[in-house]
Amino acid sequence: MLKLIFVGIWSIGMMTGSAYFFSSYMHSSTSSEEIEVDLDELTNINIDSMSIALIRNNGIIGYLMLSTVIIVDRDMSEYISIPVKYYARDVIISTVHKNENLDVYRLDKFDYTEFQNEVVTNINATIGKKMVHKMLIQNIDFITKDDVRDLQLRRSQ
């Protein structure tokens, strides 16, 4: 019984010590130059799942299913009256259509970071002020036009 109490006190001490060490280690390793914006000033906005028709060679080849989250300033409603969601959806769709490097049959070669940075830059340019800090891709899928047709045929039978 005494051994069990000692083990419990020892484990609490180890957890407290390690939490203190790692929290002080993290604060000492980050400089003020690395921290761009205080995390309390940011919020995330979920962008509803989008189905974007991909047009190549004057025809629809399929649909890109995309779910994203954008990280924005918390006080952005003071500067713009239209929700940033609408700006983001518009910029994402136009960026997908403009991007000639998007080969949906080889998404492993697609540069996600460049795409995310381009969307963030374009949203901020549309708003006129840097309010969007990051875009996170939650899900990206592609479905061909033939697959959609086959699904519709199966449902109708």
Domain span at residue 15?
1-35
What is the tally of structural domains in the chain? 2
Same domain flag for 12 and 76:
no
pLDDT score of 29: 47
Same domain flag for 22 and 44:
no
pLDDT score of 99: 80
pLDDT score of 4: 78
Same domain flag for 95 and 23:
no
Question: CATH number for the domain including 136?
Answer: 3.30.479.30
In a 3-state reduction of DSSP, which class is residue 75? Answer: coil
- Alpha helix (H) ranges present in 30-144? 84-98, 112-127
Considering the chain, what percentage of its residues have pLDDT values greater than 70?
Answer: 85
Alpha carbon distance 91, 85 (integer Å): 10
pLDDT score of 6: 77
Tens-digit pLDDT profile for residues 39-69: 667 888 888 888 888 887 888 888 888 999 9
Alpha carbon distance 37, 32 (integer Å): 10
Tokens matching residue 65 = 């299913």
pLDDT band at 34; cut points 50, 70, 90: very low
Residue 157 and residue 129 in contact, taking contact as beta carbons nearer than 8 Å: no
Same domain flag for 10 and 73:
no
Same domain flag for 10 and 51:
no
Alpha carbon distance 73, 151 (integer Å): 41
What is the pTM assigned to this prediction? 0.66
Q: Which residue has the tokens 């300033």?
A: 73
Considering the chain, what percentage of its residues have pLDDT values greater than 90?
Answer: 8
Same domain flag for 22 and 59:
no
